[in-house]
Amino acid sequence: MPLRMTALLFGEARDLAGTRSVAIELPEGKGTLPAFLLALHDATGKKLAGKVIVASAAGGFAVAPGYKIMINKRIVSPQEAEDHVLKDSDEVGVLPPFSGG
């Protein structure tokens, strides 16, 4: 069974993608952040490339410096998110650097 999850986009990421949420599907057993970001990269027509989704040192995909990840309303650093196994029905937020008014 594939893993179906939702990407939630905020601020600049939402603007670039032109949408607030994107349906993401990953193969079973592949619930990792790099795999999620690759799927998001493709699902948004590569509009997030460079500013939101960047190449990681390991050769995969990562979020841009200063970005954070939110997994089911819990905000974590990208490093913590890398260690997290994403599950079916997860909501994964891509959060640009914060800037209150």
Please report, as ranges, the residues that interact with another protein according to CB under 8 A: 10-12, 14-15, 66, 68, 70, 73, 75, 93, 95-101
Report in angstroms how near the CB of residue 21 gets to another protein at its nearest.
Answer: 13
- Compute the least distance from the CB of residue 11 to another protein, in Å: 3
Residue of 88, 84, 87, 89 whose CA lies nearest to 68: 84
- H or E element that contains 24: strand 21-26
Length of the chain counted residue by residue: 101
Phi, psi (5° rounding) for residue 72?
A: 50, 50
- Rounded to the nearest whole angstrom, what is the least distance from the CB of residue 93 to another protein in the complex? 7
Please, which residue, 38 or 49, has the CB nearer to another protein?
49
Tell me whether residue 20 or residue 46 sits nearer to another protein (CB atom). 20
Alpha helices (runs of H) in 7-68, residue ranges in sequence order: 11-17, 33-43
